Amino acid sequence: MPGVVVVGMQFGDESKGAVVDYLARDADLVVRYNGGANAGHTVATGELELKFRLMPSGALWGKRLVIGSGVVVDPKVLLDEIEALRRVGVEPNLLVSRKAHVVMPYHKVIDAGKMAGS
């Protein structure tokens, strides 16, 4: 079974999410292997457009989605994105690695304190 990998050569907006969303139409599985909620992408089908920060591209195409062990998951962001999909009638077929990193609310408090002290 062939695989396609999309890799950016720089940080920032390279439209990787749009490319993956386009390729996802013909894929069986779409995996997000790294990153966090700071990275966003917009996906669209017809008149429907959703913005995601954690959900892998391909969600609107009914594909099996995987959030891998290198992803930093903010549970609130992920749950908000799942609810956004459900509001438009899409039940995401999503697997999350048990080894994925999780951002807890206290992590944000600690980071805010570090930023205030610098």
Give the residue ranges of the chain where pLDDT is below 70: 1, 11-12, 117-118
C-alpha 92/C-alpha 62 separation (Å) is 7
pLDDT in tens, 54-88: 999 888 888 999 999 999 999 999 999 999 999 99
Catalytic residue among 21, 26, 41, 80: 41
Is 107 annotated as catalytic?
no
Catalytic residue among 13, 28, 107, 111: 13
Which residues have CB under 8 Å from 91's CB, separation 6+?
85
Q: Set out the domains of the chain in order of their start, with CATH numbers.
A: 16-117 (3.40.440.10)
pLDDT of residue 1: 54
Would you give the distance in Å from CA 69 to the centre of its chain?
Answer: 13
User: What would the two tokens of residue 113 be?
Assistant: 């304190």
Element at 94 (helix H, strand E) = strand 93-96
Is 21 annotated as catalytic?
no
Phi-psi region of 89 (alpha: psi -120 to 50; beta: other; left: phi over 0): left
